[in-house]
Structure 1
């Protein structure tokens, strides 16, 4: 082996170790941010028989030095394997349901050398979901009773749907978005409902005076 080849191999190994160290820092930050629900694992795919380099917020019971999973082995076999696989169903050894994401990391030669994997324990969230479903369940009944002015709910629903299109809540809408919303409410006849401006102001968490200004600018 000539010196150029040897130097290149040594530099490549150095770069991969540096990459793994930085990846571990990212994993630690993610695990601390998403604790206690998310396990974050760093895999060294250059050593598949002992691929787990670090495991933060350990929920699966695995340990450093354990082998690569099926996904890790698939990446080692083929550089064409997807780099990003998100939100797939999984489970821990004891049967707890999880939502997992696996991110493959390649070196400059296009070969997989590492993976960052996140496993979220869904046990608590499914319990919360079940409790919320029970709490919000409404028995079928023929009784009709209105506890608020007719039409106010239609305004609130329209505002929520408008905000959701941008991945926001009503309170998060910016000035221009609120003005555009007011124009749509008028166009759809929702501002003709009794106390419409008051309903809009309340749902957007702005003053009635501000809501009237938006209305006057239309």
Structure 2
């Protein structure tokens, strides 16, 4: 494929890269490489975190992919580093033409610095002192019903108030079988959480 024939492909990759850059901002840089032009390989760069520019040359990985048609089409989550020393998690996806030659690559570079800071903060926040006071905080009946409903809804990729009639009926039958509707005001608690009437819950429980 001649370089001129790569333009529709590169334009499509640029659209994908721009969308990914906007979605994953500010944590991920997305780069389109034109591997038919290694001296000026960077064809597009979105959410620029590395300080590189359009027209910059191919990386060592890009050059290796150009030299070897058998180079892996995808390298995921490998360790990398920005020029200023920040740790990076990278993924590189090679694009071949109809002749089986690599002509482009789409690369994602995730800045791990902020996530590592989060990890440290969470570790400190969740640290507990052993050997002191121990206490069990048992769920209230309402919390148990709410949690069971939310668990069921999440398994169907929806929310308690968005369950369809068939799924809601199945859920209510399960609540009944587990004895959660026998809890004082159980039917009312379930109905309120699902956004339906108590009569609807009684009807589904039959």
Shorter-normalised TM range: 0.7 to 0.9
Q: CA deviation at 1:89?
A: 4.1
The answer on 1:51 being equivalent to 2:41 is yes
For 1:153 and 1:88, locate their aligned partners in 2 and report how far apart those are by CA, in whole Å: 42
For 1:116 and 1:61, locate their aligned partners in 2 and report how far apart those are by CA, in whole Å: 17
Q: CA deviation at 1:143?
A: 3.1
Match of 1:73 in 2: 63
For 1:14 and 1:194, locate their aligned partners in 2 and report how far apart those are by CA, in whole Å: 74
Q: Would the alpha carbon gap of residues 172 and 97 (structure 1) be closer, same or farther in structure 2, given more than 3 Å must change? A: farther
- Secondary structure of 1:28 counterpart: helix
For 1:81 and 1:66, locate their aligned partners in 2 and report how far apart those are by CA, in whole Å: 22
- Secondary structure of 1:40 counterpart: strand
For 2:82 and 2:200, locate their aligned partners in 1 and report how far apart those are by CA, in whole Å: 56
Q: Would the alpha carbon gap of residues 71 and 207 (structure 1) be closer, same or farther in structure 2, given more than 3 Å must change? A: same
Q: TM-score, normalised on structure 2?
A: 0.74
- Secondary structure of 1:95 counterpart: coil
Match of 2:21 in 1: 31
Match of 1:207 in 2: 195
1:111 pairs with one of 87, 97, 101? 101
1:97 pairs with one of 69, 76, 87? 87
Q: CA deviation at 1:153?
A: 4.2
Alignment check: 8 A CA contact 1:104 1:112 kept:
yes
Alignment check: 8 A CA contact 1:31 1:38 kept:
yes
Alignment check: 8 A CA contact 2:38 2:58 kept:
yes
- Secondary structure of 1:186 counterpart: helix
Unpaired runs of 5+ in structure 2? Answer: none
Q: Would the alpha carbon gap of residues 171 and 206 (structure 1) be closer, same or farther in structure 2, given more than 3 Å must change? A: closer
The answer on 1:142 being equivalent to 2:134 is yes
- Secondary structure of 2:52 counterpart: coil
Unpaired runs of 5+ in structure 1? Answer: 1-8
Q: Over residues 124-143 of structure 1, what are the superposed CA-to-partner deviations in whole Å (9 max), with x where a residue is unaligned?
A: 23323443444455555323
Match of 1:61 in 2: 51
Q: TM-score, normalised on structure 1?
A: 0.71
Alignment length (residue pairs): 202
Q: CA deviation at 1:161?
A: 4.0
2:12 pairs with one of 22, 34, 39? 22
Matches within 5 A, 1:113-128: 113-128=103-118
